[in-house]
Structure 1
Amino acid sequence: MTWPLKPTLETAAVYRARVRGCLLGGAIGDALGYPVEFNSLDRIRALHGERGVTGFVPGAYGALGLVSDDTQMTLFTVEALIQAHARERTRGIGGAWSHMLFQAYERWLETQSKPGPEQGGAPTGGLIDEPWLYSRRAPGNACLSGVAQKYHPDPMLKLDGTPGRVNPDSKGCGTVMRSAPFGLINSADGAFAMAARGAQITHGHPTGYYAAGALAAIVAYVVEGDSLEGAVLRTLRLLARHPGHEETTAALEGALDLAAQGSPTAEKLQSLGAGWVAEQALAMGVYCALVEPDVKEALLLSVNHSGDSDSTGSICGNLLGAVHGDVGLPHEWVERVEGRPTIAAIADDLAAERLQER
């Protein structure tokens, strides 16, 4: 986790905006897609008109702007990275990040089974004290069962296409939808490796963990200043170094080829899959972020389909936010998304932690 150059005030401000944008954009895409996650495209259009969802629509209990497990797990990922980075920076002790990531996911798992924070206990100042996070929002079975197995991978685990120990046949999108934060505090190589290893806490299929690594690497390249298309192309070269990358590579290449055709439609998006598995969710999020130059329209495209709308929306939002910063996101959605103050604060904490390296 190293910052390559001493940042100027201007580059530090841009970096903070990208971090905020990535996390807030992911939450917005998640909140747009969560209420329609299990609906077909025909059903979405029947309920919301020919254009489908055009903004936040009522979710659980009629509330607007609610996020799902995608944002919940992303935030706990951020918390772990802040803690691990601070430990390394202040105490010179590295290598504990995977254990701290597992502990963060254990805290997330606690929020899925309890009504709220422990009463009468001393507050920790962390996410576990946030009442709004204590809500079960359709978490994936592999995420739940994986965390319960209490496995954290060796930080130097080889990424050689071998199935992981936990849920070795699972490549659900629960790996990729939580992995953008690795790219906010790492070089692309480091982000890829950490995200791919961290994904194996819950999912062992190589495509599941490579897709997680690929999203993190794309985000890292964008944060460094690459265009989104350039970041995807560089990530494809990174993927090619790893045995068993073919499914993830094919999915990303399909997204690039389809985006090059222009004229985006929901039907074209659905040709990439439904998003329930990791490489499809990644490809769909990348396609939407590439093909539609208008941020608002790209986010809407990413959730109006027959599939895992909150995960594809979250990934698309992560990418768009990293590219444009928080100021490039639709203001009305930023203001209304659930947990906005907490998301913005933890984004600033993550950015500050990395900037303190120098």
Structure 2
Amino acid sequence: MDLDRARGIVLGLACGDALGRPVEFKSASAIRAEHGQLTEMVGYGTWNQSAGTITDDTEQALCIARSLVEQQGFDPADVADRFVAWYDTGPFDIGRMTGQALSRLKHGDTWDEAGKRVWKNSPEGQNAGNGSVMRCAPLAINNAMDWGLLAKTSRQSSRITHADPRCTYGCAVLNLTIAGLLVDAETPLEDALDYVDSDVPDELVAALDPIAHGESPAKLETSGYVVHSLQTALHDGLLAESAEQAIVTAVNRGGDTDTIGAIAGAVAGARFGASALPDRWLTPIDEVDELETLAAQLM
């Protein structure tokens, strides 16, 4: 496994997150009217933060990566504790299901109870967000060569806050795809879909199978629904001709720009490596040094 690509996963995630943060929730036409094509880290906008500021996507990925290194493996209870400690800092951006699950954890639920209870109490349409797929990529560096363990830990990492099978298997498929990219698999998404067992939701397979075969759906959605986010981010991350193009394309689609950008960035980072990410993006991101160190330790 290549250190440049391992670094690319976490740095690509952070770049997509930070590039998308100031235009989160805006439509593609609104972004175009304000920026033309957004290709530079800009300040303020949505959330009113300075250029290069990361959001909950990268912050939770950092929680997972730190835990993997310090615990020398995946400990879901430790990850849950770190999520709660982060939650207690009052982050400016946090998803609805994540916030509800972390509140339950604070009040005594175990790591595998909180997300399940939130899921069961959420109506269809509000029960399968993208809040776990956006953060899970560090697991792919840590367990790239053990697909059984990677699939299992990816699903467990999701269940802390997002217990819907579309989310848990979404994390598994994403991480198996990234693991395939790290070893130059010719058909990484197809391999990932073939690997996960028959319990994977049909809706997820139907959305991702065309991408696996290099096809572009007639319409790519940019909502926070996990199936939409994965379909669009994997399309851009796998089919773009460069890491920069993947992230710029994903972000400029509008909608949930930071998360779709983060997922596309992790995938593109695994394809092209950290060396393919523009220095002008990395310079304003304060967390770059820690992310690079963690990537090396995770290998």
- Asked whether the two chains share a fold, i.e. TM above 0.5, the reply is yes
The one-letter code matched in structure 2 to 1:297 is: Q
State the aligned residue count: 285
Partner SS for 1:178: coil
Q: C-alpha displacement at 1:331, in angstroms?
A: 2.2
Identify which of 77, 82, 85 aligns with 1:99: 77
Identify which of 143, 146, 159 aligns with 1:200: 159
Partner SS for 1:111: coil
Q: C-alpha displacement at 1:42, in angstroms?
A: 1.2
Partner of 1:238: 195
C-alpha distance in 2, partners of 1:306/1:208? Answer: 22
C-alpha distance in 1, partners of 2:49/2:258? Answer: 17
Matched, 1:171 2:128: yes
Partner SS for 1:306: coil
The one-letter code matched in structure 2 to 1:235 is: A
- The equivalences for 1:102-121 within 5 A come to 102-112=80-90
Partner SS for 2:283: helix
**Does the aligned pair in 2 maintain the 1:255–1:283 contact within 8 Å?**
yes
Partner of 1:72: 59
Residue 218 and residue 256 in structure 1: after superposition, are their counterparts in 2 closer, same or farther (change >3 A)? closer
**Does the aligned pair in 1 maintain the 2:132–2:167 contact within 8 Å?**
yes
Q: C-alpha displacement at 1:32, in angstroms?
A: 0.9
C-alpha distance in 2, partners of 1:62/1:282? Answer: 26
C-alpha distance in 2, partners of 1:32/1:73? Answer: 17
Partner SS for 2:248: helix
**Does the aligned pair in 1 maintain the 2:22–2:49 contact within 8 Å?**
no
Between 317-326 and 54-63, the greater mean CA deviation after superposition = 54-63
**Divergent runs of 4+, >6 A:** none
> Where does the alignment leave 5 or more consecutive residues of structure 1 unmatched?
1-10, 87-95, 113-135, 155-162, 262-267, 352-358
C-alpha distance in 1, partners of 2:24/2:102? Answer: 23
Q: C-alpha displacement at 1:287, in angstroms?
A: 0.4
Partner of 1:122: none
C-alpha distance in 1, partners of 2:275/2:175? Answer: 22
Q: TM-score, normalised by structure 2?
A: 0.88
The one-letter code matched in structure 2 to 1:167 is: W
C-alpha distance in 1, partners of 2:220/2:190? Answer: 18
**Does the aligned pair in 2 maintain the 1:182–1:191 contact within 8 Å?**
yes
1:275-295 deviation line (CA, Å, top 9, x unaligned): 301121111111001222122
C-alpha distance in 1, partners of 2:229/2:236? Answer: 11
Partner SS for 1:174: coil
**Identity over aligned pairs, percent:** 26
Residue 235 and residue 332 in structure 1: after superposition, are their counterparts in 2 closer, same or farther (change >3 A)? same
Identify which of 136, 141, 144 aligns with 2:96: 141
The one-letter code matched in structure 2 to 1:272 is: L
C-alpha distance in 2, partners of 1:225/1:81? Answer: 24
Matched, 1:55 2:40: yes
Partner SS for 2:53: coil
C-alpha distance in 2, partners of 1:310/1:211? Answer: 18
Partner SS for 2:111: coil
Partner of 2:26: 39
C-alpha distance in 2, partners of 1:82/1:30? Answer: 23
Matched, 1:306 2:254: yes
Q: TM-score, normalised by structure 1?
A: 0.74
Matched, 1:316 2:271: no
**Does the aligned pair in 2 maintain the 1:164–1:204 contact within 8 Å?**
yes
**Does the aligned pair in 1 maintain the 2:22–2:48 contact within 8 Å?**
no
Matched, 1:334 2:297: no
Between 303-312 and 330-339, the greater mean CA deviation after superposition = 330-339
- The equivalences for 1:174-323 within 5 A come to 174-186=131-143, 187-227=146-186, 230-239=187-196, 241-256=197-212, 259-260=214-215, 271-323=219-271
The one-letter code matched in structure 2 to 1:344 is: E
Structural RMSD (CA): 2.1
**Does the aligned pair in 1 maintain the 2:182–2:271 contact within 8 Å?**
yes
1:284-315 deviation line (CA, Å, top 9, x unaligned): 11100122212212210010123101011000
Q: C-alpha displacement at 1:43, in angstroms?
A: 0.8
Q: C-alpha displacement at 1:234, in angstroms?
A: 0.6
**Does the aligned pair in 2 maintain the 1:212–1:278 contact within 8 Å?**
no
**Does the aligned pair in 2 maintain the 1:251–1:283 contact within 8 Å?**
yes
The one-letter code matched in structure 1 to 2:173 is: A
> Where does the alignment leave 5 or more consecutive residues of structure 2 unmatched?
none
C-alpha distance in 1, partners of 2:274/2:172? Answer: 23
Partner SS for 2:70: helix
